[in-house]
């Protein structure tokens, strides 16, 4: 049964939260840096065996120097005893709000198993719906430590007397939110993929530059009356078209094996397209700059060796 709450006990509002049982309809968050129930502006519910008039109102407090206000409302609760764990499990599910029918939700369920005066061994039932344990978002940190501390504190008071407390003052980034280990081959081999796949286009373009130098294509174009402008435009258009075709096949094959490359289904297609397009532009500009340097150097083979 939740301990009775009295305003004479209130010296620190954060300390009193360790001595009473509270509830909130605010969904939990994946971090414990700041409890959403205190900053969401929603009502904080005090679970008491008997509600008094002073258990309703607004309480001001400071969180790291930031003034906040909490609206509190008392809710009378009852402690129920059931003969077996299966009955507890059934009633917890029956009273769940999304189950349908009459809503009669419970804060928690406890099975003391083989608990003795020297050994505390319990099972704790709680609603894990709002931990958002899916593959598309972070796993939220549920408010289970308070449930465990409430029953541990009640056990100590029963064994050692009402003067013994084991209070959980606060939870701040501990315990850490659960994460799943996922082997991401695209992240582990991204450097190797970039070297093998993306940079393979550079030797092709350098081969074109060598061919252009050997065959004296620019001189032949000038002999036909063309100036430098068409030559630069044709060279850049060739590099750009070659990059577009190459990266198109790269995206197609990456989509076909998307199960092994999570970047294709973890990222939006627009972001992938923009990134690839920027790389194509950068690739074309780089090759175009190489071409300019080649034309300025007397011996192009020395530059290719340095590259």
- Are the beta carbons of 262 and 186 closer than 8 angstroms? yes
Q: Is residue 212 part of a domain?
A: yes
| Strands 44-48 vs 66-76: parallel, antiparallel or unpaired | parallel
pLDDT at res. 299: 46
Q: Which two tokens stand for residue 165?
A: 């407390």
Q: Is residue 65 part of a domain?
A: no
**Residue 224, SS3 per DSSP:** coil
Tell me which residue of 197, 178, 200, 193 sits closest to 261, measured CA to CA: 193
Number of domains composing the chain: 1
Q: Is residue 28 part of a domain?
A: no
List, as one string, the DSSP characters of 45-101. EEEESS--GGGSEEEEEEETTEEEEEEEEEEE------SSHHHHHHHHHHT-TTTSS
Q: Is residue 13 part of a domain?
A: no
- Are the beta carbons of 218 and 295 closer than 8 angstroms? yes
Give 207-253 pLDDT, tens digit per residue.
877 777 777 777 777 777 777 777 778 777 887 788 778 777 777 77
Rounded CA-CA distance 138/134 in Å is 8
Q: Which two tokens stand for residue 66?
A: 């930031």
**Residue 23, SS3 per DSSP:** strand
Q: Is residue 130 part of a domain?
A: no
Q: Is residue 254 part of a domain?
A: yes
What is the strand order of the sheet 66-76 is part of?
21-23, 44-48, 66-76, 57-63
pLDDT at res. 287: 60
pLDDT at res. 38: 74
pLDDT at res. 298: 45
Rounded CA-CA distance 289/194 in Å is 21
Tell me if the pTM is above 0.75.
no
Percent of the chain with pLDDT over 70: 63
Alpha helices in the chain (DSSP H): 13-16, 36-39, 85-94, 144-160, 185-188, 190-193, 201-215, 217-223, 228-256, 263-266, 269-296, 300-306
Residues of the chain with pLDDT under 50: 8, 298-307
- Give the domain extent around 270: 185-306
pLDDT at res. 8: 47
Give 150-162 pLDDT, tens digit per residue.
888 888 888 888 7
Handedness of CA 282, 284, 287, 289 (dihedral sign): negative
- Are the beta carbons of 64 and 16 closer than 8 angstroms? no
Q: Is residue 124 part of a domain?
A: no
pLDDT at res. 63: 63
pLDDT at res. 148: 84
pLDDT at res. 40: 74
pLDDT at res. 103: 59
Q: Is residue 117 part of a domain?
A: no
């Amino acid at each position: 049964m939740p301990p009775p709450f009295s305003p004479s006990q209130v010296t620190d509002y954060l300390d009193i939260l360790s001595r009473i049982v509270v509830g909130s309809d605010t969904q939990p968050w994946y971090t414990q840096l700041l409890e959403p129930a205190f900053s969401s502006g929603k009502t904080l519910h005090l679970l008491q065996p008997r509600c008094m008039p002073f258990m309703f109102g607004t309480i001001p407090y400071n969180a790291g120097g930031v003034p906040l206000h909490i609206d509190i409302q008392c809710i009378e609760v009852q402690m129920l005893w059931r003969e077996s764990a299966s009955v507890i499990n059934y009633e917890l599910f029956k009273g769940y709000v999304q189950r349908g029918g009459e809503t009669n939700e419970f804060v928690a369920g406890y099975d003391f198993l083989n608990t003795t005066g020297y050994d505390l061994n319990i099972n704790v039932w709680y609603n894990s719906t709002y931990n958002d344990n899916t593959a598309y978002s972070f796993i939220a940190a549920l408010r289970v430590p308070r449930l465990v501390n409430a029953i541990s504190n009640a056990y100590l008071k029963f064994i050692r007397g009402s003067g013994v407390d084991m209070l959980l003052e606060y939870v701040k980034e501990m315990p850490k939110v659960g994460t799943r280990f996922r082997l991401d081959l695209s992240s582990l081999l991204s450097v190797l993929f970039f070297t093998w796949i993306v940079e393979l286009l550079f030797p092709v373009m350098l081969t074109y530059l060598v061919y252009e130098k050997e065959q004296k294509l620019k001189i032949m174009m000038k002999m036909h009356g063309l100036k430098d402008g068409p030559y630069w435009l044709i060279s850049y258009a060739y590099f750009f078209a070659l990059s577009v075709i190459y990266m198109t096949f790269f995206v197609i094959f990456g989509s076909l094996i998307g199960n092994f490359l999570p970047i294709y289904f973890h990222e939006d297609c627009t972001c992938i397209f923009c990134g690839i397009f920027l790389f194509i532009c950068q690739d074309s500009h780089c090759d175009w700059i190489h071409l300019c340097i080649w034309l300025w150097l007397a011996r192009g083979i020395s530059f290719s060796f340095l590259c």
